[in-house]
Amino acid sequence: MKNPLIKRLPREFKSEIGKYLVLFIFITGMIGIVSGFLVASNSMTVAYNESFEKYHIEDGNFELAYEADEELIETLEDDEQRIYENFYLEEETNEFDSTVRIFQDRKDINLVCLMSGKMPTAKDEIALDRLYATNNKIEVGDTIRIGKKNLTVTGLVALSDYSALYSSPSDMMFDSVKFGVAIMTEEGFDSYPTNHLHYSYSWIYDESPENDTDAKERAEDFLEHLTEHAIVTNYIPAYGNQAIHFTGNDIGRDNLMVTVFLYLLIIIIAFIFAITTSNTITKEATVIGTLRASGYSRSELMCHYLTMPISITLIAALVGNILGYTIVKDFAADLYYASYCLPTYTTLWNADAFVKTTVIPVILMLIINWAILVNKLSLSPLKFLRRDLKRKQKKKAFRLNTKIGIMKRFRLRIIFQNMPNYITIIIGIFMANVILLFGFAMPPMMTHYQEEITNNMISKYQYALKAPVETDSEDAEKYCMTSLKTIEGRLRSEQAVVYGIAEDSDYLNLDFQNDGVYISNAYAEKHHIAIGDRITLDAEYGNDSYEFSVQGIHYYPSSIAIFMDEEAFRDTFDWEDDEYTGYFSNEELSDIDDAYIATTITEDDLTKTSRQLILSMGGLMDVFAGFGIVMFMLIIYLLSKIIIEKNAQSISMTKILGYTNGEINGLYVMATSLVVIGSFILTLPIVNIAIKYVFAIAFSEYSGWLPYYVPFPVFVKIVLCGICAYAIIAFLQMRKVKKVPLEMALKNVE
């Protein structure tokens, strides 16, 4: 026999169609976004992982001071690895400020994926990295001046060893605006002078390492072998090459983040459904009592009340997945392509995404609602008939001080009677604040970081020379510099720049005493180092270790840096008395030939992290802020609606007693308003602490340091957005209070 309770479902849906449609749209959109991201990221991850074999990606690369001859190559290869020439040029662009790293077309290693156009065939043609070209508004067919040559862009490519455009392994963040890679023919490559030629070589092991530990051991052995036979200026094993591995690691982190985000929201929505169902049971108590007395079991009633939330979640999940595999997937892919230089990918069916976005949400919805229903429906039929749904009857109401005004006491009673709903509101507001703060805080944080770096540069120009050369500029000051690496421990090892500073320097006012060193505030904050501590660092290429006593902390946020007295530097690293690395200068040094300049560090080089994060995450932050507002409004609307419906009889009674709609709003809507606004303001400091902690963990994985900073106006903006959004909800609830009929108080009189 067909269960007659099924006939109630369409009527129940029709009577609450507004609520169910809002929940359906929200769950659909939420699952669609997560599904799209998971599908796109999984498809791209597969394409990324396959690229190692497909494009013959290197196991590491090194750079020598001079070109290696055949004898040296044979000596280095042994029986362990094959070495390939991978020379490159670094040239400046003329139309805009950027650097292009030019390679010859690869045939054996680090192969190239052509995204559009065609590969260059003439010496005046070039194929640019797709992302770099897009960010600088360069299209196929355009002419670009690189160095002293005009080149025609024939195609847009993705280089397999530059999926993230890191120009240096020590960079905290890649830069796809002012740094790009490109491919030219051998003839075109050779047409450039050798001033900016880098003797770079890549290697591939004959047998791939079993894991990162094995790769690290083999790389260390190879480095030791390499330094015995050549002067090494750069050495990057593939496992530590951010340009190769950052993309894969970042996509994986995104999967975890969006999945956890989905489950938290599903749990909140499940509680909203559970509270809604609980409210429905309270309204239908006598009907339930009659059905139980007529022979209906608890399980039958539970199935009935579970049908609507499970059905809506299931349908929303299916529709969301369809959207995820179609519209949202392309949006997510565009976000990844806007950040990374990925090869083309094929959309793949993702069973894991289906489980995460359909099966698990339905199970969470089932468990939470089932737990609430078990507790609610365990009462006897007689209690339902009497509308006595409280397990423990209080002998008298919670006593409130009579000195408190009657209206205030009334509001407090409303809050106490609806505490489960308000607790859910507080949790929902906490989650909304997390999303809003993340969305609103990132842009000013990046802007502040840029300003701090710009305002605290050592000099406007920092020249690193290939060989000592004098300058006539009175503004120039010599300095020494080398690189060490921090010791692996709580954080992974990273590069630290060590400066030897001239006595009475015009650029750094540091008073060195007793061979102590100053460290940058970025180093101190990231590694939790205080004045008086002793730090140990290892040589970047070799087995030497160096220990320093921290005399002071210099505010230099742009990098992990150590500052030493010039004489102490030369003694520590065995440099000659007249040896130096380059010049600090606030003026451009025009009397030094480019052939002698290895690198020029300017403001653009130091601000690449913030610039890239703004470019990569700017659009996503707007999405987060919008989503946070929508989530906040949804939760407040549904729960405040439940509170008014639950108290409809009391509201009707107050109308009979002569209270106006305005006075009733001052009781019921005001009570919710106090909780909402109070929760919004009080949870913000907790959210701020939580996000600060999350940021510290997240950015500890990067080289360098990004300090957490949120200006006070951001908090004001979040509170104002919340209040404005709630004003709309309050207006809707006032209309609902106005519609409560007077006869409601005469019904179900006990």
Per residue in 127-157, pLDDT tens?
A: 999 999 998 999 999 999 998 899 999 999 9
Closest of 719, 724, 743, 702 to residue 166, by C-alpha? 702
Q: Are 251 and 45 in contact (CB under 8 A)?
A: yes
| Closest residue by Cα to residue 638 from 490, 428, 468 | 428
3-state secondary structure 486-546: ECCCCCCCCEEEEEEECCCCCCCCCCCCCCCEEEEHHHHHHHCCCCCCEEEEEECCCCCEE
Check: CB of residue 165 under 8 Å from CB of residue 341: yes
Q: Is 669 buried (19+), middle (13-18) or exposed (0-12) by CB count in 10 A?
A: buried
pLDDT of residue 1: 45
Residue 143 is predicted with a pLDDT of: 94
Residues 515-531, mean pLDDT to the nearest whole number:
90
Model confidence at 112, pLDDT cuts 50, 70, 90, reads very high
- pLDDT per position as a tens digit, 674-705: 888 888 888 889 989 988 887 777 677 667 78
Task: Average the pLDDT over 436-457 and give the result.
Answer: 82
Instruction: Note the pLDDT of residue 396.
Output: 55
Average pLDDT over residues 15-29: 82
d(CA 98, CA 177): 7
Q: Tell the burial category of 545 from Cβ atoms under 10 Å away from its Cβ (0-12, 13-18, 19+).
A: exposed
Q: 593: pLDDT confidence band, cut at 50, 70 and 90? A: confident
Q: Is the pTM of this model over 0.75?
A: no
Give the residue-averaged pLDDT of 281-297.
Answer: 82
> In whole angstroms, how far apart are CA 683 and each of 427, 432, 433, 509?
9, 10, 8, 43
Query: What is the average per-residue pLDDT within 553-569?
Result: 90
Q: Report CA 65 to chain centroid distance, whole Å.
A: 38
Q: What is the mean pLDDT of the chain?
A: 83
Q: What DSSP line would sit under 698-743, residue for residue?
A: HHTTSSS-------HHHHHHHHHHHHHHHHHHHHHHHHHHHH--GG
Beta bridge partners of 63: 200, 234
Q: Count the neighbouring beta carbons within 10 Å of the beta carbon of residue 139.
A: 12
DSSP H or E segment with residue 109 = none
